Amino acid sequence: MKATHSPTIASAFEDIKSRAIAHWQEVFDSGQPVILVGTATCGRAAGALDVLETIQTELEKLGVDCPVFEVGCLGHCYAEPLVVISKPGYPPICYGYVNTVIAERLVREFIAGDNPCLEFVLGALEENDLIPSFADFPRAVYEKKVVLRNCGHIDPTDIEHYIANDGYSGLATALQTSPEEIITEIKDSGLRGRGGAGFSTGEKWEKCRDTRGRPKYVICNADEGDPGAFMDRAILESDPHSVIEGIIIAAYAIGARYGYIYVRAEYPLAVERVRIALRQARKLNLLGRHILESDFSFDIRLFEGSGAFVCGEETALIASLEGQAGMPRYRPPYPPSSGLYGKPTVVNNVKTLASVPPIMVNGAGWFNDIGSGESRGTAVFALAGKIVNTGLVEVPMGTTLRQVIFDVGSGIPDGKRFKAVQIGGPSGGCLPESALDLPVDFDSLTGAGAMMGSGGMVVLDEDDCMVEIARYFLEFTQRESCGKCTFCRLGTKQMLTLLNDITQGKGTQADLDTLKTLAEDIKAGSLCGLGKTAPNPVLTTLRYFEDEYHAHITEGCCPALMCQQLIAYYILPDKCERSCDACVGTCTVEAISSNKRRIKVIDQEKCVKCNTCLTACPPQYNAVIKLSPPSEVPAAEK
Amino acid sequence: MTPKAEAVTQDSKDEEAINRQETRLALKRFGRKRWNLIPILQKVQARLGYLPREAMVEIAAYLGIPEIDVYGVVTFYNQFRLNPPGKHSIRVCLGTACHMKGGYITLDAWKRRLDINSGETTADREFDLDTVACVGCCTMAPVTVVDNQPEGKVEPTKVDGILLAFELVREAEKKEAKQ
């Protein structure tokens, strides 16, 4: 991109950048060790704050002066809490599964001493001759970090860390370019909206720029409501400035004066970190009046969403910002023509906006070289469920599902068999093994009945019941339906009733046809994406796993042994080790007792099917099993 | 009216007056604009722990909008609650990953132990139980958020463990109070 040289903007930014780099080098190139602790929500849930506290007290005790930073999520959530130590003479080393005891040892032996404690190493961040690095992991072949480039490497509460790593350079370049050129650049890059629909970002911006009406608004949609998705949370917690910079560039391109970040209130840490980031950006004149001494003025406000899934839909989100109940409205007019308060508005997803700064720095061609077909750039996925390496992954568009699940995610734990992958949350679908060679991009998955959605990927194994998962998603969309469209409001309710019946063994064959008819009607008769896609989980499970529905209906049997009404817990008498009392002691409702031969017996009347005895029974006996249908339990024990 | 009943009415009148007072204080920071409604509700709930009737009436009067509009917004969003919270909040995550790893079993365990349903508060106002769609810690499934602190891998036995921890703290406090 040709930047018209503007001495004031360039020198204003140069000042900020040189100060930031000096600050960064003072810490990281000073010859002293530095400790990074991952304290995003995922780390905290695993006890990262205790680890942090231990490290600090231990350093104090030993009188060692060593900076400790709280950083975001490296993506290896399965190994949380993570600690990274950079010590001169060693590559930066990442330690996994750190607890307070390990943390204490790391400080004593590696920071104060000279033993890198190789037994706790997960991997080195750089290639070296000493320790295997992340680049040697099989997943490194596929991973390509664009949006997640800084996550886990910088302190999200320190703007200078971001600036020292090329942050806000994209903005400085953009401000020296004309808005039209930026829009062309974004169009050339092939960037499409990461929220699910995949509309061209450049075209959206252009439409908004060309619409008359002032003021114009930019809204960052961080209302990540999909159960099973946590990409936006991780990005906002780990690298909030990349999103803010993207918003400012978008605002400059379309000529907006105000912007909003709409974050779920259920993400308190993300809210806090964004708030800090906004304050710091204002202080450095990267937000506010005459940004970097240019003529462009823009400011961002943070809005906490109140927990309604439908507000992820752009018109509902706008209604919510206006202080109304978040109900979607008919489109067109689309928000770029008439959005917030009837003014031209661009609504972009977190990941879309975070992709913008690197495009400004590296050029459209660089971004366009990543990906395949009509889908350019990378896709960020939250891997969860029955998968070894749960966490965040970023791969180029066009990588196949099999590569993501088995190579990046290392497959299914405990030697279980892969059954299905649920993509796109409540709007997506469950794809079976036969669909694993599909590439992940905007268009391929739609044909198979699923969609990329915002990027939640939940892997299911042989213990997961497909009818139950369909019922679960429908229960979710039914509850979250705003109630505006009749088909969505009443149709999902009816489908849920049918699925409830089936999972309780009360379904009939005719129900399956009713489900299919209702699904088509809901799709046709709903205004917004929530209703239009709500039947997808049911339709895909019916398409690929119809036999499971039949087993529930005709045999009253749940093949995956999951549906509570259709299973019973049973202790195999010949496997029960009579001197062991593990199940009796742990049973939460005192339903297990010893019989005359001291074999343990479950009182089926009392049993609440909480699974505790099954996990408590030592693996060498494995005497507790689940039976379906419950009538399989020998009559003597009922 | 019996003396006891009178005392109760007096208490609830006091509570109502305090709620009104607190709501008015919270309102001072906001302009009288409709788009401030949700931030106002969040602020008031942060102060009172829930949104009582009198608070909603105050807010409607302040913004000059019908009370039903305030009530409509409050009941539309999951964040707002209409009954007072307990001292400790228990939020069981029912995101996809948590559900598939047995979140519903965990919820059952909480219900059984606290003897309340989701959305309710125990009679002694110690605990309130609710579900949350997803807290984004899917890798730690099944998750329960206890007093805003996400706890990973919460199975029925861990439910008992968490409750025991609270019980021990309470006993220690009682002992201290005696001394």
pLDDT digits (tens, 9 = 90+) for A208-245: 999 999 999 999 999 988 877 889 999 999 999 999 99
CA of A459, closest CA in chain B: separation in Å?
9
Inter-chain touch A45–B102, beta carbons under 8 Å: no
Structure tokens at A269: 């840490």
- The whole-number average pLDDT for the span A84-93 is 92
Q: What is the CATH number of domain B88-178?
A: 3.40.30.10
pLDDT at residue A3 greater than cutoff 70: no
- Using the predicted structure, report yes or no on whether residue A5 has a pLDDT greater than 70: no
A512 Cα to chain B: minimum distance (Å): 23
Burial (0-12, 13-18, 19+ Cβ within 10 Å), B89: middle
Question: What amino acid occupies position A134?
Answer: F
Q: Is some CB atom of chain A closer than 8 A to the CB atom of B43?
A: no
pLDDT number for residue B5: 60
CA B83-B85-B88 angle, to 5 degrees, is 160
Q: DSSP label at A46?
A: T
Neighbouring-strand partners of residue B33: none
Segment B21-44 mean pLDDT: 94
Contact present, B139 and A384 (Cβ < 8 Å):
yes
Residues A406-410 have a mean pLDDT of: 93
User: Are A458 and B78 inside 8 Å of each other by CB?
Assistant: no
What one-letter code names the amino acid at A356? Answer: V
Q: Looking at residues A534-563, what average pLDDT do you find?
A: 94
Interface list for A 501-530 with B (CB within 8 A): none
Q: Is A274 in contact with A268 (CB distance < 8 Å)?
A: no
* A469 CB-contact burial (10 Å; exposed 0-12 / middle 13-18 / buried 19+): buried
Go through chain B and tell me how many residues it has.
179
DSSP H helices in A430-508: 444-447, 466-480, 486, 492-503
Between CA A582 and CA A604 the distance in angstroms is 18
Read off the amino acid at residue A332. P
pLDDT at residue number A169: 95
Query: How far separated are the first and last CA of chain B, in Å rounded?
Result: 40
| CATH number belonging to domain B3-76 | 1.10.10
Whole-angstrom distance, CA of residue A350 vs CA of residue A226: 14
Statement: residue A369 has pLDDT above 60: yes
Question: A396: which 2 tokens?
Answer: 């180029």
Residue B104: pLDDT band with limits 50, 70, 90 = very high
Tell me which chain B residue has its CA closest to the CA of residue A226: B134
Q: Is the peptide bond before A215 cis (omega within 30 degrees of 0)?
A: yes
Same fold for the pair B3-76 and B88-178: no
Interface A-B, measured as beta-carbon pairs within 8 A, has a size of: 153
What pairing do the DSSP bridges indicate for beta strands A375-376 and B88-93?
Answer: unpaired
Q: Is the pLDDT of residue A375 over 50?
A: yes
Q: Which 3-state string (H, E, C) describes B65-127?
A: CCHHHHHHHHHHCCCCCCCCCCCEEEEEECCHHHHHCCHHHHHHHHHHHHCCCCCCECCCCCE
Beta strands in A359-451, from DSSP E residues, in sequence order: 371-372, 375-376, 378-385, 391-396, 418-423, 429-432
- Does the pLDDT of residue A2 top 50, yes or no? no
pLDDT band at B7 (very low <50, low <70, confident <90, very high): low
pLDDT in tens, B47-58: 999 999 999 999
A355 interface with B at CB cutoff 8 Å? no
Q: Is A563 on the interface with B (CB under 8 A)?
A: no
Note whether B138 contacts A228, CB cutoff 8 Å. yes
Q: What are phi and psi of A151, to 5 degrees?
A: -60, 125
Place of tokens 């004309």: A178
Give A281's contacts (C-beta < 8 A, 6+ positions apart): A159, A241, A244, A287
* Chain B contact for A30 (CB, 8 A cutoff): no
Cα-flanking dihedrals φ and ψ of residue A98, to 5°?
A: -80, 130
List the domains of chain A with CATH numbers: 31-136 (3.40.30.10), 159-367 (3.40.50.11540), 372-464 (3.10.20.600), 467-555 (1.20.1440.230), 567-637 (3.30.70.20)
C-alpha–C-alpha distance, residues A203 and A189, integer Å: 12
Chain B contacts in chain A segment 589-608 (CB below 8 A): 589, 608
Say whether A458 and B38 touch across the interface (CB within 8 A): no
How far apart are the C-alpha atoms of A116 and A108, rounded to whole Å? Answer: 10
Mean pLDDT of A181-186: 96
- Find the angle CA(A492)-CA(A497)-CA(A502) to the nearest 5 degrees: 120
Judge if the upstream peptide bond of residue A81 is cis by omega within 30 degrees of 0.
yes
End-to-end Cα distance, chain A: 77
Alpha carbons A588 and A133: distance in angstroms, whole number: 45
Task: List the 65-94 stretch of B: residues with Cβ below 8 A of A.
Answer: 72-73, 76-80, 94
d(CA A1, CA A364): 8
Alpha-helix residue ranges (DSSP H) falling in A239-339 = 240-254, 268-283, 314-321
Q: Where are the domains of chain B?
A: 3-76, 88-178
Band of pLDDT at residue A436, cut at 50, 70 and 90:
very high
